[in-house]
A = this chain, B = another copy of it.
Amino acid sequence: MNILDTIYQHRSIRKFSDKPVDDQILEKILNAGFRGSTTGNMQVYSIIVNRDKKKLEAILPFHFGQKMVVEAPVFLTFNADFNRFNTWCEQRNATPGYDNLLSFLTAAIDAIIAAQNVAVAAEALGLGICYLGTTLYNADKLIEFYEMPKGVVPITSIAIGYPLEIPELVDRLPANGIVHYEKYHQYSSTEIDAIYNEKENLETTLKLINENGTENLAQIFTQKRYTKETNVEFSKRILAVLEKQGFMNHQL
Where the two chains meet, the residues of A that have a C-beta atom closer than 8 Å to any C-beta of B are 2-4, 6-8, 10, 12, 27-28, 30-37, 39-43, 45-52, 55, 83-85, 87-89, 91-98, 100-103, 105-106, 108-109, 112-113, 115-117, 119-121, 124-125, 129-131, 133, 136-137, 146-149, 152, 155-156, 170-173, 175, 177-184, 186-187, 189, 192-193, 195-196, 215-219, 221-223, 225-229, 231-232, 234-236, 238-239, 250-251
Contact = CB atoms under 8 A, between A and B. Distances in A.
30 contacts: A2-B3, A7-B36, A7-B117, A7-B121, A10-B37, A35-B172, A36-B116, A48-B181, A48-B183, A48-B184, A50-B182, A84-B177, A88-B195, A89-B221, A89-B222, A91-B192, A92-B216, A94-B216, A94-B218, A102-B137, A102-B235, A102-B238, A106-B133, A109-B136, A112-B112, A112-B113, A146-B180, A147-B184, A148-B184, A239-B250
A187 B30 CA distance: 20
Dominant SS at the A interface?
helix
Contacts of A47: 178-180
B102 A178 contact: no
A252 B89 CA distance: 38
A37 B12 contact: yes
A87 B187 contact: yes
A236 B222 contact: no
Contacts of A115: 113
Contacts of A186: 83, 147, 149
Nearest to A29: B4
B119 A49 contact: no
A217 B233 CA distance: 42
A87 B231 contact: no
Given A218-B92, A238-B102, A182 B55 contact: yes
B182 A48 contact: yes
A231 B251 CA distance: 11
Given A49-B181, A100-B231, A116-B117, 16 more contacts: A3-B124, A7-B35, A8-B32, A12-B37, A31-B175, A43-B172, A43-B178, A48-B182, A55-B183, A92-B219, A97-B228, A98-B226, A106-B133, A108-B108, A147-B186, A149-B184
